[in-house]
Amino acid sequence: MSHFTEEMLDEHLADKHYSHRMGWLRAAVLGANDGIISVVSILVGVIAAGTDKDHIILVGTAALVAGALSMAAGEYVSVSSQSDTEKADLEIERQALEDDWETEHAELAMIYQQRGVSPETADQVAKELMEHDALGAHAKDELGLSEIHTARPLQAAFASAASFVSGAGIPVILVSILPMQNLGYIVAASSLVLLALLGAIAAKTGGANMMKGGVRMLVWGALAMALTTYVGLMFGAG
């Protein structure tokens, strides 16, 4: 007889699959990626324009703070909208269960039949699941909602802001401690290395190809920095 408990099953699925990481991983990668690319692009642009070091540091710090707040606010609003939609759908389903239990039961059974379950088994499964947790069963199998994918606005906002600061903070620190000679090249090169590493790590965490993830980050980062460097040179102080 198996002694495989529900807790053991949850742990097994968490170790084997990657979908439970999607919420925080997306926000964290987006934040760090945007932090590095946006702040470094601004920095290499103002460096190329011939700006003095104090102003470069000021611009970098301002970009870091503004970017972190913008990422947090944008992520919070976006995920909150998703959460509001989920709650609205659940309320509609809750009301439908109160108004017409039998129709909802038939609807759930039909979903299982469409997945290949026999009519008799589908009817029995729907009955037992609804007796246990009717709203939960319909939320998962009809609406496609689950605990893993539930929107968490605060978690997403904090992850985005924190990862943005961690990404943007490194080039700002480099600008502060390094001499002006070849500063733009050093900051750009080190940031491209960081982007490639970030892409590879994010890909590994999500179960994807590390090389593909690293190259993708590298290409987009290089493109952004090249364009802002060109703008800096076009409108340079010299």
Give mean pLDDT, residues 114-128.
83
pTM of the model: 0.65
Q: For the segment 67-93, what is each residue's pLDDT rounded down to a tens digit?
A: 999 888 988 888 888 777 877 877 887
The pLDDT of residue 217 is 83
116: left (phi over 0), alpha (psi -120 to 50) or beta: left
CB 232 within 8 A of CB 59: no
CA pair distance 24, 17, nearest whole angstrom: 15
Residue with tokens 């190329």: 48
Give mean pLDDT, residues 222-231.
87
Residue 86, token pair as written in the block: 């989920």
Domain ranges (residues) in the chain:
21-234
Give mean pLDDT, residues 16-21.
47
3-state helix, strand, coil in the chain (%, to 5): 85, 0, 15
The pLDDT of residue 64 is 93
Q: Model confidence at 9, in pLDDT bands (50, 70, 90)?
A: very low
Question: Element (H or E) spanning 151, and its range?
Answer: none
pLDDT at 66 over 60: yes
